[in-house]
Amino acid sequence: MSTAPTAIIADDEQHLANYLNDRLTELWPELNIVGIAKNGLEALRLIDDESPAIVFLDIRMPGLTGLEVASRLDAKTHVVFVTAYDQYAVEAFDREVADYLLKPVADDRLTRTIARLKEKLGAAEVPTDVAGLLKQLTSAVPGNKSAFLRWIRASVGDVVRQIPVDEVLYLQAQDKYVSVYTKDGESLIRTPLAELSASLDPNDFWQIHRSTIVNVNCIASTQRDVMGRTLVKLKEGKHELPVSRAYVHLFKQM
């Protein structure tokens, strides 16, 4: 009978779930990942079926959030939260013993998390009661997309368009405007890029340059040019966007 620890991953962003799965397989080959859930309800079903020793939970998922899933776990499961909300959550986590990973997950952070989990499992340590932490995070972290911008009102000549943010390919700061690019072309808004960045879902929109924010769901690939620069190629059209050095790490998992 195998004594290898078991785990599940729950994240509605499939490429990030797959990346975490791949990195765990590489860095902790003894870990048996018994399933990947795409939402909170699926996570609960997997947990009920598999009784994993560890669950890696995205904080915000459809159906049930990671916080809601964690609140329903028994005292046998170690929880690692995966979050994009460093501005909301890190301070709360750092005051607790529950572990967390920031998106995009970096190898050095994941290695430290693995070491802590191995120590806890080796000592047969009872998982921490995270009830207090859950209460704090529930009040701090936006629980659904209503917390973020859903529409952008932008001008095309004399016409003002109502653009769903899901249709935005990328945003780019110009002199006095920000250009909003969709598959239908370019529109203009006056809202500063920094203000837009704070209003957009960080799971979907990544800043890749001081003047550019890209919709991650619209990225087809990344590549390096002859000058060694990283370029993002989008699925629509022939858009290729340069990534500044400060943001290249975001694409190590892609």
Question: What's the CA gap between 150 and 245, in Å, rounded?
Answer: 29
pLDDT of residue 145: 46
Topology classification of domain 148-251: OB fold (Dihydrolipoamide Acetyltransferase, E2P) (2.40.50)
**All residues at 6 or more sequence positions from 10 whose CB lies less than 8 Å from its CB, including other chains:** 17, 36, 37, 38, 39, 40, 42, 43, 46, 55, 56, 57, 58, 61, 66, 69
Over residues 195-236, the pLDDT tens digits come to: 788 778 877 899 899 899 999 999 998 888 878 888 999 988
Tell me, what's the pLDDT at 245?
A: 84
Across the range 45-66, mean pLDDT stands at: 87
- Cα separation, 209 vs 144, in Å, equals 27
Q: What is the pLDDT of residue 191?
A: 85
Question: pLDDT band at 55, cuts 50/70/90?
Answer: very high
Q: What is the per-residue pLDDT for 151?
A: 84
Of 20, 59, 16, 66, the C-alpha closest to 41 is 66
CA distance 188 to 186: 7
| Mean pLDDT confidence for 46-71 | 86
pLDDT mean over 90-103:
64
> What sign has the CA pseudo-torsion 81, 89, 73, 204?
negative
**By percentage, how much of the chain surpasses pLDDT 70?**
85
Query: Has residue 140 got a pLDDT over 80?
Result: no
pLDDT of residue 131: 60
Separation CA 221–CA 178 (nearest Å) = 24
- By the 10 Å C-beta count (0-12 exposed, 13-18 middle, 19+ buried), 228 is classed as exposed
| Residue 90 confidence (pLDDT) above 80 | no
Query: What pLDDT score was predicted for residue 1?
Result: 42
Instruction: Using alpha carbons, select from 128, 142, 143 the residue that is nearest to residue 95.
Output: 128
Residue matched to tokens 């769901």: 217
Token pair for 15: 């490429």
Q: For residue 75, is pLDDT > 80?
A: no
How sure is the predictor about 143, in pLDDT bands with cuts at 50, 70 and 90?
A: very low
Q: Percent of the chain scored above 90 by pLDDT?
A: 32
Q: What is the mean pLDDT of the chain?
A: 83
32 in Cβ contact with 2 (< 8 Å): yes
Phi, psi of 104 (to 5 degrees): -75, 140
* Predicted local distance difference test score (pLDDT) of residue 97: 44
Query: For the chain, which residues make up each domain, given as ranges?
Result: 6-144, 148-251
pLDDT score, position 212: 94
Q: What is the pLDDT of residues 152-174, one digit of tens each?
A: 888 888 888 888 999 999 999 98
Is cis: bond before 104, omega within 30 of 0?
yes
Burial class (CB in 10 A: 0-12, 13-18, 19+), 214: buried
pLDDT of residue 61: 80
Q: 6-144, which class in CATH? A: alpha beta
Stretch 175-190: mean pLDDT:
90
Least confident interval from 34-43, 48-57, 82-91: 82-91
The whole-number average pLDDT for the span 106-132 is 83
Label residue 205 exposed, middle or buried (CB < 10 Å: 0-12, 13-18, 19+). buried
The yes-or-no verdict on residue 138 having pLDDT over 70 is no
